[in-house]
Amino acid sequence: MEILAFGVQTDEKPLIEKAFAGLHDIRCLDVFLTEDTAPIAAGHEVVSTSVNANLNAQVLQSLAAGGTRMIAQRSTGFNNIDLDVAARLGLTIARVSYYSPYSVAEFAWTLAMAVNRRIVRASNRTRDFDFRLDGLLGRDMRGRTVGVLGTGKIGEAFTRIAHGFGMNLLGWDAAQNPACVELGMKYVDKEELLANADVISLHVPLLPSTQHLIGRRELAAMKDDAILVNSSRGGLIDTDALVGELRKGRFAGVGLDVYEAEAGLFFLDKSLEAVQDDTLARLVTFPNVVVTSHQAYYTQDAVGQIIAATVDNVAAYAAGRHTENVLVPAAP
């Protein structure tokens, strides 16, 4: 059968085509799955989507009407999918439940160190042959305190790097990770973590219970010179509240690889268009903020694992097997 893959990046396309070679035909599109593009999938039993696909009720109904029976999402998160509607339509929905946690953890620390050591500002200066050090003063990580919100696989990998720096470790999660405890992590409530951490990194999924996990009250509780990093999901932070705190001159740095209104923006070239998102436009003007476009997962290792899992998910669907990656099984 021919599989239609939406939202395929240029670097990703040859890897996907190679992985499916000899198994199924695959057609790769650089457009993302939305209400407008869903009709393109007509006649394709299997559709593969990217993390920023919009799989709401209307999109799912359009896919089902066109003959789609299985959706293989190339990501771990699935907050963009209406699973109840998918179940009613008899669609099989599968995701990638695991890929390299080091890709995201290492990138989170890249953001933290970039804002701490003012790397972007320094690089821009030297391009203009301005070699002054004014305004580039950073801090050692050793001996300082890191707060990790969410200590699953990625949070654990992030914690191991922090341990290597020689930092004090604070954690917050519904359940303690024994590996983090062994590294010396102390689990505390969220309020204590926010009040005491010099670096705060988010590694929790976006659920109704975690929407705006970091809101006005949480931001106010943080140290004025804290560093905040989010490489998980944009909706974890109330961005308007964050902009308000930044306008007051707070925080040593903020590193964001995700943004709560990134759909329709991230992964696309908007450089020749007028900026319509006033919040994002204001956010990127702060000198202590670095924003990247959801690339933390984007390494050869992680992307390779994501594609391999997607191939396995399609094979399992074709064989009528259920795996741990299946979120919604097909109707009997």
Q: Which of 233, 245, 250, 260 is catalytic?
A: 233
Using alpha carbons, list the distances in angstroms from residue 223 to 102, 144, 145, 166, 228.
27, 13, 11, 20, 10
Q: Which of 44, 74, 250, 294 is catalytic?
A: 294
Q: Catalytic residue among 12, 218, 245, 262, which? A: 262
Catalytic-residue membership of 233: yes
Structure-token pair, residue 268: 């696309």
Amino acid type, 111: L
Residue type present at position 127: R
On whether the CB atoms of residues 31 and 6 are closer than 8 A, the answer is: yes
Give the type of residue at 180: C
Catalytic residues: 233, 262, 294
